[in-house]
Amino acid sequence: MKFRAIMGALCAAGLMCGVSAVQAAESVEVLHWWTSGGESRAVGVLKDDMTKQGYTWKDFAVAGGAGAAAMTALKTQVISGNAPSAAQIKGPLIQDWASQGVLVPIDAVTGDWKKNLPPQIDKIMQADGHYVGAPFSVHRVNWLYINKAALDKAGGKVPTTWPEFFAVADKMKAAGIMPIAMGGQPWQDLTLWEDVVLSEGADFYKKALVDLDEKTLTSDKMVQVFDTVRKIQGYFDAGRTGRDWNLATAMVINGKAGMQFMGDWAKGEFTNAGKKSGTDYVCAVVPQTDKAYTFNVDSFVFFQQKGQKAATPGQLALAKTIMSPDFQEQFSLYKGSIPVRLGVSMDKFDDCAKKSYADEQIAIKAGGYVPSLAHGMAQPDAAAGAISDVVTKFMNSQEDSKTAVQALAKAAKTK
């Protein structure tokens, strides 16, 4: 009884109260770039879940859809010895950070992950045989969003080929509707361009953007890719310079524009605005890409805290929460994505998400499941940046397609 009394006194004094005291004392600082309406609502689910577990959430949000500003902030924090508990990082960049010896393994909470993740994504979450990243969800990049009223007014049908797409765009233009809402940032340029690359086939995409095969990069098909992009550009408005992606999405939501090429994080904006798929808008696969799926996977990696080599209780709790079925479901419902964890019920999801999940399963088995270059999944920063520069230069000049293709092949050699 004396022992219990002493323990009770220590607990009352806040000195010793089991695991809950450790949790309550630990602050979890999280760096991310989810700042738009749908994104903020989604990450709020994680914050609430961690708070309920007794942790203090310190939000380190850095605006910018592609995360460039967030990565700059992260480098500054790590160099100064003040790394966050977790940071939003994707693709090959996970292995880059792991190679610097600043991440901690989270194997203690990853028991069933391997059987519950697509093999292509499971591999990305590991470095040297240890899990260092926790994936949130899967975004499909090759989506085309269409305002339903604009489509009806133009008397068009959902396009499945490029000729059909241009016919719809022409009808919208004739009806006084801006055909395509487009932002003016390099990553948005690259997103559109990789969509068109994918329209030439998943095998072509993999050879060009994953293998960086020079013969493929300089092929007639690649010239056609640039020709198609140039034709699409003819339907942009003059005010796109510097426009962020969610502002372009808002133009489609509000009926100021007819269509937008954007990954399914845009669906989170439609949802946040109270719009319903099939009634207010249509989410269609980018023309000629129905059998393929470009994936963009958000994940958190976990940094050493004050030189510790092991993950803290808060970091492990964060990783475990991220991969829990309930969180996976709720996060994606707000974010516009689909759960990265396989087998999560899709009953609460809309038709767009259900199509995304069904197409994903087919693509995984058929070899059409490919990483997005524009969203940090296919190449390290140097190569991706060099290719992005080529695409952006092309889209902001009168450069011809053959010249762009030669520049592309040269950029692909950047390491």
Predicted local distance difference test score (pLDDT) of residue 309? 87
364 located within any domain: no
- Write phi, then psi, for 282 (nearest 5 degrees): -120, 130
What average pLDDT does the segment 227-254 reach?
Answer: 96
The answer to whether residues 215 and 284 belong to one domain is: yes
State whether 45 and 102 are in the same domain: yes
Please say whether the beta carbons of 259 and 179 come within 8 A.
Answer: yes
Task: Kindly list the distances between the CA atom of residue 85 and the CA atoms of 40, 82, 90, 328, in Å, as whole numbers in the listed order.
Answer: 19, 9, 16, 20
Domain count, the chain: 2
Domain membership flag for residue 7: no
- pLDDT over threshold 80, residue 371: yes
Q: Is residue 162 part of a domain?
A: yes
What are the phi and psi torsion angles at 317 (to 5°)?
A: -65, -40
Q: Is residue 309 assigned to a domain?
A: yes
326 with 284, same domain?
no
* Residue 63, pLDDT score: 84
If asked whether residues 240 and 280 sit together in one domain, one would say yes
Q: Using CA atoms, how far apart are residues 262 and 127, in angstroms rounded to an integer? A: 30
247, 317: one domain? no
- Regarding whether 258 and 405 lie in a shared domain, the answer is yes
- Amino acid 345: pLDDT: 96
Number of neighbours of residue 358 by Cβ within 10 angstroms = 12
| Two tokens, residue 53 | 């577990």
Which domain range does residue 394 map to?
Answer: 143-294+374-411
Residues 26/56, Cβ–Cβ less than 8 Å = yes
Residue with token string 């969509």: 195
- Answer with the one of 351, 366, 387 that is the final residue of a domain: 351
Helix (H) or strand (E) holding 293: strand 293-302
Helix or strand holding residue 394 (H, E): helix 381-395
Q: Are residues 51 and 128 in the same domain?
A: yes
pLDDT tens per residue across span 310-362 = 999 999 999 999 999 999 999 999 888 999 999 999 999 999 999 999 999 99
Read off the CATH number of the domain in which 131 is found: 3.40.190.10
Do residue 220 and residue 136 come from a single domain? no
Is residue 56 predicted with pLDDT exceeding 80? yes
> Could you tell me if 218 and 305 lie in one domain?
no
Q: Is the residue at 367 inside a domain?
A: no
> 72-83 pLDDT, tens per residue?
899 999 988 999
At 379-391, the pLDDT tens digits run 998 999 999 999 9
- Kindly state whether residues 211 and 287 are assigned to the same domain: yes
Same-domain check for residues 279 and 405 = yes
Residue 6: per-residue pLDDT: 36
**Which pLDDT value is given to residue 66?**
64
pTM of the model: 0.86
Q: Are residues 136 and 147 in the same domain?
A: no
The pLDDT-based confidence of 151 (bands split at 50, 70, 90) is very high
Beta-strand runs (E) in 5-162: 27-32, 56-61, 86-88, 126-127, 130-131, 133-140, 143-147
- Nearest residue to 255 (alpha-carbon basis) of 188, 181, 351: 181
Residue 15 lies in a domain: no
Is 363 within the bounds of a domain?
no
Reply yes or no on whether the pLDDT at 7 is more than 80.
no
Task: Give the pLDDT confidence of 280-293 residue by residue, as tens digits.
Answer: 999 999 999 999 99
Contact 40, 34 (CB under 8 A): yes
Q: Which residues pair with 303 in a beta bridge?
A: 103
Say if 80 falls within a structural domain. yes
Q: Average pLDDT for residues 391-406, to the nearest whole number?
A: 97
Reference 50, options 27, 34, 31; nearest CA is 27
Portion of the chain with pLDDT greater than 90, in percent: 82
Q: Tell me phi and psi for residue 274, to 5 degrees.
A: 80, 20
Question: CB neighbours of 119 closer than 8 A, spacing ≥ 6?
Answer: 364
